[in-house]
């Protein structure tokens, strides 16, 4: 019961946040320079043609009318593509989710294992190696690691495809093959971050009273780590992973551009540069929804692992 109330309260807050987000994005869209007609027709088009197109698109109407038109026809029609947004955004979201899930499947175990191994060997060479490697990879931007990977594995060795989009009708494993190269830069960037969180959490848990008690009462080290340390040390890591999932869904412009992957990040970026406000709105709200759902799931998971949260929420 307490859990249901907790979730309902969170959902209510999420809806309000989404509405505020929609207003902010809409207003930001209004203050951006240039206009949609000009973006579509290009800088050299005749002003009369731009006026005619702006009128067709309805962007010469008052701001409130535009906002109402958009919200009442959600997700509406893209200015840029002159086509309904749903059929464009839906597949893009699926593609981004596919990429994000694949990245997470590799990243999470790798990051956690790396962090825990580091923590258990704190101060030893293996800990330093993991930390240094993680931090170094964190500082290499995706467009650098991505191009290096393409040049080495796709162009020189020819092992993997250059693009991330598998040909239509490809099977599961072919699709995975196409996603391997794009996933590596993401894993590289996020590994250091997650490993560091897992390391700090584990060290904290190892130094805690309950860990000492467990050791003193004679539990074997392996059991003590599995039952007591990991369960507590991973709490902050879950939050970090949840936040990064939002980034994995919407912030992959660089990787998506480099590997020709039509995901939400690329769609959002193009919508922003082309002044395609309905598309931009729909993308940002979709990313917002994904972000909130993931955070909500993380909170639920968090509370399942940590009864103190449940109790506080119920109070």
Partner 1 sequence: MSRGNSELDRLRAGRTELENHYIDELVSGNVSRRDFLRRGSMIGMSSTLLGAILAACGSSSSKTASSSAAGTTSTSSGPVTKGGTLRIGAVAPAAAVNPLTVSDAGGLLMLNQTGEFLIFDSNLKLELQPMLALSWSPNTDGSVWTFKLRPNVTFHNGAAMTADDVVYTFQQLSDPKNASNALSAFAGVLTPSGVKATDPMTVEFTLEAPNGNFPYLVSSDNYNAIIVPKGTDFTKWQSTFVGTGAFKLGKYTQGVGASFVPNPNYWGTKALLDSTTFNFYMSQAPMILALQGNSVDVIAQFTPAGAAAILNSPSYKIIKLPSANHRELSMRNDIAPFTDPRVRQAVAYTLDRPGAVAALLSGDGSVANDYPFGPRFKSTDTSVPQRTQNISMAKQLLAAAGHPDGFSTSLKTEIYQEIPQLAQVIVEDAAKAGIKISPTVETQTLYYGKSTFGNSDWLDGTMSLVDYGDRGAPNVYLTAPLTSAGTWNAARFKNKTYDGLVKQYVAALDLQMQQQIAGKIENLLLQETPIVYPYWIDGLTASTPNVNGLNPTSIAQLYLNTAYKSA
Footprint on residues 32-61 left by partner 1 (CB under 8 A):
33-35, 37-50, 52-53, 56
* Residue from 161, 182, 185, 278 in contact with partner 1 (CB under 8 A): 161
Per the CB < 8 A criterion, the answer to whether 273 and 261 are in contact is no
CA 153: distance to chain centroid?
A: 26
The alpha carbon torsion through 138, 144, 146, 150 (nearest 10 deg) reads: -140
By CB under 8 A, residue 180 contacts partner 1:
no
* Closer residue to partner 1 (CB): 244 or 268: 268
How many helices (H) and strands (E) are present in the chain, helices listed first? Answer: 15, 0
* Residue from 22, 66, 80, 295 in contact with partner 1 (CB under 8 A): 80
- Tell me how far, at minimum, the Cβ of 179 lies from partner 1, in Å: 15
By CB under 8 A, residue 163 contacts partner 1:
yes
Phi/psi of residue 77, nearest 5 degrees = -115, 135
Integer CA distances (angstroms), 45 to 41, 42, 76, 83, in order: 6, 6, 26, 22
Largest Cα–Cα separation, the chain: 84
Between CA 138 and CA 141 the distance in angstroms is: 8
* Closer residue to partner 1 (CB): 262 or 306: 262
By CB under 8 A, residue 158 contacts partner 1:
yes
Number of residues counted as binding partner 1 (CB under 8 A):
46
Between CA 202 and CA 209 the distance in angstroms is: 13
By CB under 8 A, residue 218 contacts partner 1:
no
By CB under 8 A, residue 162 contacts partner 1:
yes
By CB under 8 A, residue 184 contacts partner 1:
no
Give residues in contact with partner 1 (CB under 8 A). Answer: 33-35, 37-50, 52-53, 56, 80-83, 88, 147, 150-151, 154-155, 158, 161-163, 165, 257-260, 262, 266-267, 270, 273-275
């Amino acid at each position: 019961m307490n859990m249901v109330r907790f979730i309902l309260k969170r959902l209510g807050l999420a809806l309000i946040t989404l509405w505020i987000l929609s207003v902010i994005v809409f207003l930001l869209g209004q203050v951006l320079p240039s206009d949609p007609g000009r973006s579509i027709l290009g800088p050299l088009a005749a002003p009369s043609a731009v006026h005619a197109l702006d009128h067709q698109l309805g962007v010469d109407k008052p701001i409130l009318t535009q906002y109402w038109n958009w919200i009442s026809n959600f997700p509406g029609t893209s200015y840029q593509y002159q086509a309904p947004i749903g059929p464009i955004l839906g597949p893009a979201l699926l593609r981004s989710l596919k990429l994000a899930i694949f990245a997470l499947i590799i990243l999470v175990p790798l990051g956690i294992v790396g962090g825990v191994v580091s923590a258990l060997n704190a101060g030893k060479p293996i800990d330093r190696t993991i930390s240094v490697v993680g931090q170094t990879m964190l500082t290499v931007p995706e467009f650098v690691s991505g191009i290096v990977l393409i040049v080495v594995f796709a162009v020189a060795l020819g092992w993997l495809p250059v693009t991330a989009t598998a040909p239509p009708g490809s099977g599961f494993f072919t699709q995975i093959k196409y996603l391997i190269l794009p996933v590596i830069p993401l894993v590289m960037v996020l590994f250091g971050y997650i490993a560091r969180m897992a390391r700090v959490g584990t060290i904290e848990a190892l130094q805690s009273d309950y860990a000492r008690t467990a050791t003193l009462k004679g539990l074997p080290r392996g059991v003590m780590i599995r039952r007591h340390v990991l369960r507590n040390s991973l709490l902050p890591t879950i939050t970090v992973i949840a936040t990064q999932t939002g980034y994995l869904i919407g912030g992959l412009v660089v990787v998506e551009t480099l590997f020709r992957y039509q995901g939400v990040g690329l769609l959002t970026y193009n919508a922003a540069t082309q002044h395609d406000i309905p598309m931009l709105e729909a993308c940002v709200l979709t990313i917002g929804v994904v972000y909130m759902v993931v955070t909500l799931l993380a909170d639920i998971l968090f509370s399942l692992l940590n009864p103190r949260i449940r109790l506080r929420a119920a109070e």
